[in-house]
Amino acid sequence: MDPIALRDLAHELRQPLSTIEAIAYYLALVLPHDNEKTHEQLDRLQRLVEQSNWILSNGLQADDCAAPAPEYIDLEEILTEAASSRSALRFELAGNCLVHADPGLARSLVENLLTLFRQIATETHPALIRTSKHACGVLLEIETGAPGFRSIAGGALSLNCARRIAEAHSGSLDVCFETGRVRLQVVLP
């Protein structure tokens, strides 16, 4: 599909999604809080809108063929900024983790993976985000317990986009689904 047509399609889909999200937010404010079932469904509706926007963003990212313009950036700064609005995350950061990557693509990679793990992690099984030095640069690991995990709509597209970004920077991305556990490792130079 033509990249411009794909961006137009994403834009057209985001307008009704945004309206649905705004209606759900409004209803959450005005409906009595004693009806837990209704608020659970409104919360679910907002998460589905977020997931749909995430899938659209991944589709656009997958179609983007622009060459990266790498510079030295602090990966941990991007991680903490992207994680500020997300729950069920724990950090073990090594400190001083500079990577040679395109800032926009690195941000997309991090936000993409955190959104994926946010859908898997729970308060009982939070995602652990760890950074460390690696022979080829910096290792970013994200893992969580995932009892009963099957799959997530958009998950394969998300991992494919993140892998393409890592490989465009001469890095790598590996993911391992074990029984009751999901572990992802990204190496960036």
Q: What is the pLDDT of residues 79-135, one digit of tens each?
A: 998 887 666 788 999 998 999 999 988 998 998 898 888 878 888 888 899 999 999
Tell me if 180 sits within 8 A of 129, measured CB to CB: no
pLDDT at 8: 75
- Other C-beta atoms lying within 10 Å of the C-beta of residue 44: 11
Which of 15, 31, 63 marks a domain boundary?
63
Asked which of 12-26, 47-61, 107-121, 155-169 is least confident by mean pLDDT, the reply is: 47-61
- CA-closest candidate to residue 90, choices 46, 129, 139: 129
Q: Are 79 and 130 found together in one domain?
A: yes
Q: Are 49 and 120 found together in one domain?
A: no
The enclosing H or E element of 92 equals: strand 89-92
Tell me if 74 sits within 8 A of 103, measured CB to CB: no
Separation between Cα atoms, residue 90 and residue 35, nearest integer Å: 31
- CA-closest candidate to residue 111, choices 162, 152, 60: 162
Provide the β-strand partners of residue 101.
71
Give the residue-averaged pLDDT of 124-151.
87
Asked whether the predicted pLDDT for residue 63 surpasses 70, the reply is no
Q: Are 48 and 138 found together in one domain?
A: no
- Other C-beta atoms lying within 10 Å of the C-beta of residue 135: 6
pLDDT over 90, % of the chain: 30
Separation between Cα atoms, residue 85 and residue 75, nearest integer Å: 17
- The SS3 assignment for 143 reads strand
pLDDT band at 28 (very low <50, low <70, confident <90, very high): confident
Q: Are 114 and 24 found together in one domain?
A: no
Residue numbers of the domain that contains 17: 3-63
Q: Are 40 and 132 found together in one domain?
A: no
Q: Are 77 and 164 found together in one domain?
A: yes
Q: What are phi and psi of 151, to 5 degrees?
A: -165, 170
Q: How many domains, in total, are found in the chain?
A: 2
Q: Are 53 and 82 found together in one domain?
A: no
pLDDT band at 2 (very low <50, low <70, confident <90, very high): low
Q: Are 93 and 142 found together in one domain?
A: yes
Q: Are 21 and 113 found together in one domain?
A: no
Q: Are 130 and 154 found together in one domain?
A: yes
- The SS3 assignment for 13 reads helix
Please report the sign of the dihedral spanned by the C-alpha atoms of residue 99, residue 104, residue 105, residue 106: positive
